[in-house]
Amino acid sequence: MSGVRLKLGMVGGGEGAFIGAVHRMAAAIDGDWQLAAGAFSTDSGRNTRSGDALGLDPARVYASIDALIAGERALPEGERIDAVAIVTPNFLHAPMAIAALEAGFHVLCEKPMAMSVAEAEAIAAAVEASGREFALAFTYCGYPLIEEARARVANGDLGKVRLVQVEYLQGWLSQPVDTDGNKQAEWRTDPARAGIGGCLGDIGTHAFQLAEHVSGLRTDAVCAELTTHVPGRRLDDDVSALLRFDGGARGTLKVTQVAAGEENGLRLRIHGERGGLEWAQMEPNTLTMRWLDRPIEVLRAGGPGLQPATASMFRTPGGHPEGYIEAFATIYRAFAATIRGSQVWFPGVDDGLRTMRFVEAVVANAGSDVKWSPIDTV
């Protein structure tokens, strides 16, 4: 922590919401942020109860993001919030982010960035015009051993990368829970609120961002299939894609939310000329390195043999596992450090634009007879 805590306002994430509580825990871990204001729900009763439960001044619990922006801008500069966390369904990301940026606030937004590439580009333009910081909640790149994997690839330890395989398997949508009152499932399968990708937008963007981030490669084109297994569901619940990377590497991406019995099976494997690596989100404190000419190397969180940048990310000694909330907190910590003047990497505008172009390329390819659809020309 450096100096006085930054003040955070939150839009969405009120009573009964999952991800809002995750954001609040993550923001609090390192002492960089203080939740000072919010517009938690369009339901006035739920909004008020959420503010009360969080111990906020009732005057800073607002009915809408417009009211939040107006109310906070009316405060002296030292008292108003520094940043807005947007933890709403996807269709609200762009209008809310742009409004907050234009009002002079930094923004940390849930993924995917927006509903379309056009909306994502509008956010990017608002970021540039405002001079404010914009972060995206691609949580999994906040794990220390993901940084270790990225550094090992960047250092050339594996040699030239040839293969990138990423999968993200969930089973929670195997039944039609989106029509049985499950609010998290309901909006994620509604094109008006989620966008053109269901499983694709929800977890496919996570998998794609992680693959590009760790490999250091950009995907040139995709060959994809979208499937909806549950009858009556309006968006995809299963995605398969071949990836063609710059430099000649090839990859596969498999994401699904109908793999019955699966929990949160995000797994990444990268192979080069001399070796490969493997990391799995459900065992995030282990990174396995495999070599052509020597025994397997198993790296452990907080243990010996890690890059200095990785070692600096841990909050606890080896043998004390850090998990999802801590990975999320790493993004909030980097976001705060950058706002304060240090340039610390976090997922942001480029990741958002890349993942939205990926979504549109997959949808276009899956709906056509074209074998490969380029990403950068979407």
The CATH number of whichever domain residue 125 belongs to comes to 3.40.50.720
Mean pLDDT over 187-212 rounds to 98
Do 261 and 135 lie in a common domain?
no
Do 130 and 155 lie in a common domain?
no
The CATH number of whichever domain residue 176 belongs to comes to 3.30.360.10
In a domain, 121, yes or no: yes
* Domain final residue pick, 112, 139, 166: 139
Mean pLDDT over 176-198 rounds to 96
Q: Which amino acid is at 355?
A: T
What is d(CA 183, CA 43) in angstroms, rounded to the nearest whole number?
A: 15
Q: Which residues pair with 288 in a beta bridge?
A: 278, 298
Tokens of 48: 């008020």
The alpha helices in the chain, defined as continuous H runs, are 19-29, 44-53, 65-73, 93-102, 117-130, 144-154, 183-188, 191-194, 199, 205-215, 308-311, 324-339, 349-366
What is d(CA 183, CA 326) in angstroms, rounded to the nearest whole number?
A: 26
DSSP 291: E
pLDDT at 376 over 90: no
Do 113 and 163 lie in a common domain?
no
Do 266 and 285 lie in a common domain?
yes
Do 301 and 152 lie in a common domain?
yes
Helix (H, G, I), strand (E, B), or coil: what is residue 316?
coil
206: containing domain: 143-319+349-366
DSSP 201: I
Do 132 and 147 lie in a common domain?
no
Do 135 and 150 lie in a common domain?
no
Q: Which amino acid is at 299?
A: L
The per-residue pLDDT for 266 is 98
* Domain final residue pick, 79, 111, 139: 139
pLDDT in tens, 266-300: 999 999 999 999 999 999 999 999 999 999 999 99
pLDDT in tens, 69-94: 999 999 999 999 999 999 999 999 99
Do 116 and 165 lie in a common domain?
no
Do 39 and 174 lie in a common domain?
no
